[in-house]
Structure formats: structure tokens, C-alpha cells
Amino acid sequence: MKIQIEYGMCDGHGECVIAAPEVFDLNDDGDEVILLDENPAEELRNKVNAAIKLCPVAAIRIEG
């Protein structure tokens, strides 16, 4: 699976980091997500789906 982030929408709530810390982190200012793994393993799909659901601005998508 391939992750796409709409960086302009992200305002750093960090829900995605809590849901899937293997895939998402926050920058030092805590105001924008960092994608640690653009192509996470299938085993992480549930966690990524949780991150997508929890993101308050719907900035995360799975491509394809």
C-alpha cells in the first residue's frame, strides 16, 4: 500500500502518530506529520486505516 499525505491540510494533531507510530511521526515543531514509511507492510494496514479514520482533517489517504 502507498500512503499519500496532504501536507497543506495537516495541522499536527498527531492522532495518526498514536494510531500507527511505525508509519507516522510529527516534526520538531509538532505542527506537521512526517511520513516515516511511504510503503508500509500489509500487516500495518489496520493501523493505517485507524490513522486515516482518526485524522481530524482527512489528510491521509491510501493510494490505489
For ligand SF4, which residue of 3, 8, 15, 28 counts as binding (CB under 6 A)?
A: 15
Residue 37 interacts with ligand SF4 (CB under 6 A): yes or no: no
CB of 45 to ligand SF4, least distance (A): 17
Residue 14 interacts with ligand SF4 (CB under 6 A): yes or no: yes
**Is-contact 1 46, C-beta < 8 A?**
no
Backbone angles phi, psi at 62, to 5 degrees: -95, 125
**Is-contact 59 4, C-beta < 8 A?**
no
- Under the rule (CB under 6 A), what is the footprint of ligand SF4? 10-16, 24, 33, 55, 57, 59-60
